[in-house]
Amino acid sequence: MKALISVDMEGMPYIVNPSQLRLKGALYDEGRRIATRIALTAANELNNNGFEKVIIADSHGPMVNIIVDDLPDYVDIIRGYPRPLSMISGVEDCDALILLGYHAKFGTSKSTFDHTYSGGIITRVEVNGVEASEFLLSAYAAGEMNVPVILVAGDAQLIKDDVSKYAPWAQTLALKHSMGRVSARSSSMVTIEKELRSEVKKAATKLKQKRVKLLKPEKPVKVRVTFQKTHFADAAELLPNAKRVDGLKVEYSSSSMVEAYKTFELLVFASAGVTAILEG
């Protein structure tokens, strides 16, 4: 069997300061060590439970965060951005998906670094009328390729709001209990690693027993994106099949979730390009 582990950072334990998340941040080394340790703990337990290959999709920011010095021989890693399917690149060849360090969507109170995909560009993403977090976007695209989400570990509020609602079969682990946007409580790493190994083992067992499901959106997939600034929507409106809803909102329809996901990525790139032009 083969599994993909998608690793974000805002939902990781102890991550409460922006300097832990940025390449040039004073505490970035600490942040990436935490993410690496969590990812390798999950990968090791997957291997112990019958997964011959584990692919880690480094999925935060520029997607070069995981420390690669001591990767086991059964682990491959996907790094760099842009890339196909962004946070779940490589999932099409896998039997299961695990999401680590995931966080709540934009506008969620008491959730560290709440945002949806791009904190400086996107306010809200809706898929067939359902407001989507990064968890839901990833789970929908994976499900369309017949890959189930079997475990989500991250911010407790994400698990409460989204995972328990849309993927109740998935094992979960709250890596942090946020007290605000930049404060949270987490257990010791010893405790977290013990609990994570236990949840991975349970998730692997459920998969083998076929007690997990696929999360798929209805087709065609209708997406509505709410931007933070009107000039981002100006750029998005140039997409041939896009419709301007109001000053900040653009919507489009795709034949599949994978196509919808890729189109959404392109709109984020376009907005980033507009920012670069205006600030150049």
- pLDDT tens digits, one per residue of 1-28: 999 999 999 999 999 999 999 999 999 9
Residues 83 and 51 in one domain: yes
Instruction: Give residue 248's domain range.
Output: 221-279
Q: Are 153 and 172 in contact (CB under 8 A)?
A: yes
Helix axis angle for 257-279 and 134-144, nearest 10°, is 140
Task: Kindly compute the dihedral angle of the four CA atoms of residues 242, 245, 247, 250, in this order, to the nearest 10 degrees.
Answer: -30
Q: What is the pLDDT of residues 214-263, one digit of tens each?
A: 999 999 999 999 999 999 999 999 999 999 999 999 999 999 999 999 99
Residues 144 and 270 in one domain: no
Count of domains forming the chain: 2
Provide the whole-model pTM. Answer: 0.97
From 155, 184, 208, the end of a domain falls on 208
Q: Is residue 129 part of a domain?
A: no
Q: What is the pLDDT of residues 171-206, one digit of tens each?
A: 999 999 999 999 999 999 999 999 999 999 999 999
Q: What is the pLDDT of residues 65-77, one digit of tens each?
A: 999 999 999 999 9
Residue 95 in tokens: 């039997």
Q: What's the mean pLDDT in 138-148? A: 98
Residue 241 in tokens: 């099949």
Q: With H, G, I as helix, E, B as strand and everything else as coil, classify residue 151.
A: strand
32 pLDDT above the threshold of 90: yes
Give the H or E element holding residue 100: strand 96-102
Residues 139 and 237 in one domain: no
Q: Is residue 113 part of a domain?
A: no
Helix axis angle for 28-48 and 189-208, nearest 10°, is 40
**Residues in CB range of 198: below 8 A, 6 or more apart:** none
**Residues in CB range of 147: below 8 A, 6 or more apart:** 4, 91, 92, 94, 95, 96, 97, 214
Q: Is residue 119 part of a domain?
A: no
The residue behind tokens 């076929």 is: 210
Residues 49 and 167 in one domain: yes
pLDDT at 280: 77
